[in-house]
Amino acid sequence: MALQLIRPDINIDFVGKRFFFVALSTAINLAAILLLIFVGLNYGVDFAGGSVVQVKFDQPTSAARIRQALAPLDLGEVTVQEFGATNLNQYLARFEKVRNIGSLGKRLEGALDQSYGPSNKAQVLRVETVGAKVGRDLRVDGFLAVAFATVFMGIYIALQFRGVSWSFGAGAVIALIHDVLVVTGALVLSRLEFDLTTLAAVLTVIGYSVHDTIIVSDRIREDAAKRRREPLESIMNRAINETLSRTILTSGTALTVLLSLLLLGGPILRPAAFTLFIGIITGTYSSIYIAGPVVLFWEGGRGARSAPARAA
């Protein structure tokens, strides 16, 4: 007997449960938006701009004490925060604009040693500097890259599936916005650093998610051409069930690889692997529970359109 992970005659009522899952997704997206506004992403220096200095002390201290110790250097506005677990005694000092940046690490160590003395030695572990304008430009360009990718994917899908309904494009765009919000919300909660590699992972999530959406939409288009008198809701449910095996196997194999990267890949790959892991899960979910319901809401649950479906 052949191995069958999913029965060929499976018939889960995905579309019937769409109201619950749309409500759930709306709540998650609102939470993600609130997290982005009130907590914010942990921008790496690429996006934040300015200078970042990570300092380790032998003994506990406070951000205010560190600012006081650095004041004589007259380095401009400085933000100091504890970095990591309390017992690590590590702090992050951010300088928006450093006047005379040469040997910043040595100068900071000298000022801290002078202020704290030998009882609490400071060691500068990291100094990174990105021009403020470069950081700002990268933030804007990164957002535009995600926005343009989403919009043009939507336009392409709308054109390709116009024979069944123009709303496929809207469904795809809303699904992609949902995926980006879920992923960025997860990044806010995890406090993983959002840098250029993570941005590349977000763009990959968009590509993966729309690929899954196209697979389901294409099956809907095929079934709509064969069953013109059947309601779109029924056609959509059948199409999702027919592609379920392929969807789960494709996502499952990708997730297996990503889980390995997440657990064993080390700190360099972790933010990107985490982004892709969450993104593939939500991309698969949105292809079923977001893109389809958007089309149904648009079409008002009518029967399949009478215009013949065009091949891609």
Q: Which stretch binds other proteins (CB under 8 A): 29-37, 151-159, 261-269, 279-287?
A: 261-269
User: CB of residue 124 vs other proteins: minimum separation in angstroms?
Assistant: 7
User: CB of residue 9 vs other proteins: minimum separation in angstroms?
Assistant: 47
C-alpha distance from residue 143 to each of 47, 178, 199, 202 (Å):
11, 15, 9, 11
User: CB of residue 271 vs other proteins: minimum separation in angstroms?
Assistant: 7
Report how many residues bind other proteins under the rule CB under 8 A.
Answer: 28
CA dist 289 and 280 (Å) reads: 14
User: CB of residue 229 vs other proteins: minimum separation in angstroms?
Assistant: 57
Q: Which stretch binds other proteins (CB under 8 A): 33-41, 204-212, 265-273, 299-307?
A: 265-273
Among positions 15, 41, 69, 127, the unique one binding other proteins when judged by CB under 8 A: 127
Decide: is 54 part of the binding site for other proteins (CB under 8 A): yes
26 or 103: CB nearest other proteins: 103
Decide: is 120 part of the binding site for other proteins (CB under 8 A): no
C-alpha distance from residue 305 to each of 138, 211, 223, 232 (Å):
44, 24, 12, 9
Do the beta carbons of residue 292 and residue 161 sit within 8 Å? no
115 or 129: CB nearest other proteins: 129
Q: Of 63-102, which residues contact other proteins (CB under 8 A)? A: 83-85, 88, 90, 101-102
Decide: is 2 part of the binding site for other proteins (CB under 8 A): no
- Contact set with other proteins (CB under 8 A): 44, 51, 54, 83-85, 88, 90, 101-106, 123-129, 192-193, 266-268, 270-271
